[in-house]
Amino acid sequence: MPSYVDHVERRLLDDPQVLGDIADVVGGPFHVMYPERVARNIGTFQAAFGAAGVDGFVYFGKKANKAACVARACADSGAGIDVASAGELVAALAQGVRGEDLMITGPAKSDELLWLAARHRALIAIDALDELERLVALNLAARIVLRALPDGSTSRFGLAPGELSQAVERIDPGGPILLSGFSFHLTGYDAIARSEQAAALIDLCLRTRAQGHPADTISIGGGFGVDYLDAASWARFRDTVSDNWFHANPPKSGYYPYHFPVPGAAMLTAILAHRDLADRLRDNDIRLAVEPGRALLDRAGSSVFRVQGVKSRTVGAEPYDILTVDGTSLSLSEQWFDSEYLPDPVLWPVHPGHRTPTSVGASTCLESDLLSRRRIPLPRRARVGDLLVYPNTAGYQMDSNESPFHELPLPPKVVLSAGPDRLRWRLDAPAR
Ligand SMILES: Cc1ncc(COP(=O)(O)O)c(C=O)c1O
């Protein structure tokens, strides 16, 4: 199941030298980031707003990747950042994103985070009545949206309809807290559900304006799908997968929809087109914010591990290899949600050989520490010293779960850019 890759990554994989040079310098697993791709992905969302004639704003969901180069790409591209901790807020400011371009999400935010957010004029998504009380008690000027609990949702986040009304009542229209509007975030990847929830929030804005508040902004959160694989590979996998494709136990909790026909900005266009949402936003002077994490990181990074050992096993009478690579599957988060990251890793460098079913283990003492339980048909037998490149890992895979377990160093991030004559690389600024 080969993944789509960015042209910079294609050049890296095709180059006979650069990847090996980086691996020699780093001396362990590492991630490669392509920030030019982040800028292009942001541009596609901004273009979708422009084409629909909607006043829109993109906040990058920072939880999806910690790299400084991603935050810098946001600052350079006119995007804001959605942060959920004081650490994320400071990291975003450090890369040049202005406070007024920050959206603060997350439940029961600490007083410290509320205070910092108010000081920097960030837009705070209030998640609960007691959180609003704590913000009121700070007695600072602040800009807020109220996060709504969507109808029928069992989410622990957001305010139920009665709580929303109480929150609106609690805010004095002439006071220091400015009620800018409402927000929501849905799990799943359904464009229609998002569009209809947005329409409901437009109505809420209009009622709230009648109570003297600006209510001119709604945020529809993240959840814009990513298209990792072509339709045929994905259909073949779904139609034929069976338990004995996997080393030891197959994952139990289902898979991300790795083929996603209307991804990212195209999904935003579909949301805006449904029941004339774009017209309603425009007619009512409402700004639409989005908070994509994964979709802005599509094809913007990959994760590289070195093969440290190769063993043979059999399943029935069929032989397969099981590799041990340096690093851990904590650098490929999907493996820790009882699921599997399905885009095929690329075995580098290319050599002739025979197709070899291969599972990939990592270097800790945990039985479950596997980067690929699936026996992937690699084009040849892997050898000690080869590199395995997991593609398209920037969105949530590479660094949301990493820990220095076993006192292994955290994989550094290498920032790659394409010059006209050659590829250039440098280390990302240290995470803050
Ligand atoms: C409030 C909020 N906004 C945005 C996002 C980003 O979601 P995604 O990466 O799926 O776009 C999340 C993810 O959990 C979230 O909780």
> pLDDT tens for residues 2-19?
999 999 999 999 999 999
Indicate the domain borders of the chain. Answer: 7-33+300-427, 36-226+263-297
241-277 pLDDT tens trace: 999 999 998 999 999 999 999 999 999 999 999 999 9
Tell me if 223 CB under 6 Å of ligand 1.
yes
- State how far Cα 282 lies from the chain centre: 29
Tell me if 306 CB under 6 Å of ligand 1.
no
117-148 pLDDT tens trace: 999 999 999 999 999 999 999 999 999 999 99
Q: Flag the least confident range among 151-165, 342-356, 417-431.
A: 417-431
Inter-residue contact 119 to 199 (CB < 8 Å):
no
Q: Report the chain's mean pLDDT, rounded to a whole number.
A: 97
Which residues are designated catalytic? 365
Residue 318: is its pLDDT beyond 70?
Answer: yes
186-211 pLDDT tens trace: 999 999 999 999 999 999 999 999 99
Tell me if 222 CB under 6 Å of ligand 1.
yes
Q: Which atom of ligand 1 is nearest to the CA of 224?
A: 11
Q: Which atom of ligand 1 is nearest to the CA of 125?
A: 1
Q: Which atom of ligand 1 is nearest to the CA of 84?
A: 1
Residue 432: is its pLDDT beyond 80?
Answer: no
What mean pLDDT is predicted for residues 111-116? 98
Contacts of 154 (CB under 8 A, 6+ apart): none
Residue 305: Cβ within 10 Å count:
29
Q: Which CATH class name applies to 7-33+300-427?
A: mainly beta
Read off the pTM.
0.97
CATH code assigned to 36-226+263-297: 3.20.20.10
Minimal-distance CA residue to ligand 1 atom 13:
222
Residue 169: is its pLDDT beyond 50?
Answer: yes
Question: What whole-number distance in Å separates Cα of residue 154 and Cα of residue 263?
Answer: 25
**130 burial type by CB count under 10 A (0-12 exposed, 13-18 middle, 19+ buried):** exposed
Q: Ligand 1 centre and the CA of 157: distance in Å?
A: 12
pLDDT, residue 430, reads 67
Tell me if 344 CB under 6 Å of ligand 1.
no
